[in-house]
Amino acid sequence: MSTNRTFTMIKPDAVENGHIGAILEKIAASGFKIVAMKYTQLSLREAQEFYAIHKERPFFGELVEFMSRGPIVAAILEKENAVEDFRALIGATNPADAAEGTIRKMFATDISENAVHGSDSDENAAIEGSFHFAGREVY
């Protein structure tokens, strides 16, 4: 995956609360092009693998239970400076600290159920994109 791409998930809370359409609209309006997308659900094991980097953190169990409890939308997004710009668009991890107009401010519930994922580096964007998509699913 080239460095102008990032990976996102619309998390189970935002799907349950009916925010898929509004979040995708905001992503598109912010200049991101969707180059891969699927509606899917992580098994508990897959969530543990995806979030392995956090396995020592006290909230790991809660995080993987949450991320596997219902369907998500996974997508690869393209834009110049994608990783940084998408992190700015989603806002702080805790929606209470997120800036006005950010996706987490608008749609997240709390620090654990925070509506969207956004990769934190080009390297992780490539790893996370490959976790969810085969090469032929990326356009």
Shorter beta-carbon distance to ligand GDP: residue 1 or 63: 63
Q: Taking the complex as a whole, how short is the minimal distance between the CB of residue 59 and ligand GDP, in angstroms?
A: 3
Q: Taking the complex as a whole, how short is the minimal distance between the CB of residue 74 and ligand GDP, in angstroms?
A: 15
Q: Taking the complex as a whole, how short is the minimal distance between the CB of residue 87 and ligand GDP, in angstroms?
A: 8
Q: Which residue is nearest to ligand GDP (CB)?
A: 112
Q: Which residues bind ligand GDP (CB under 6 A)?
A: 54, 59, 62-63, 93, 111-112, 114, 117, 120
Cβ-contact 35, 82 below 8 angstroms: no
- Options 19, 54, 117, 132, the catalytic residue: 117
Shorter beta-carbon distance to ligand GDP: residue 54 or 55: 54
Catalytic status, residue 19: no
Nearest-5° angle of CA 58, CA 62, CA 64? 110
Number of C-alpha atoms within 13 angstroms, CB side, residue 82? Answer: 27
In angstroms, the CA 129 to CA 1 distance is: 8
Shorter beta-carbon distance to ligand GDP: residue 55 or 139: 55
Question: In the numeric block, which tokens belong to residue 124?
Answer: 């992780």
Q: How many residues does the chain have?
A: 139
List of E strands, 79-139: 116-118
Enzyme catalytic residues: 117
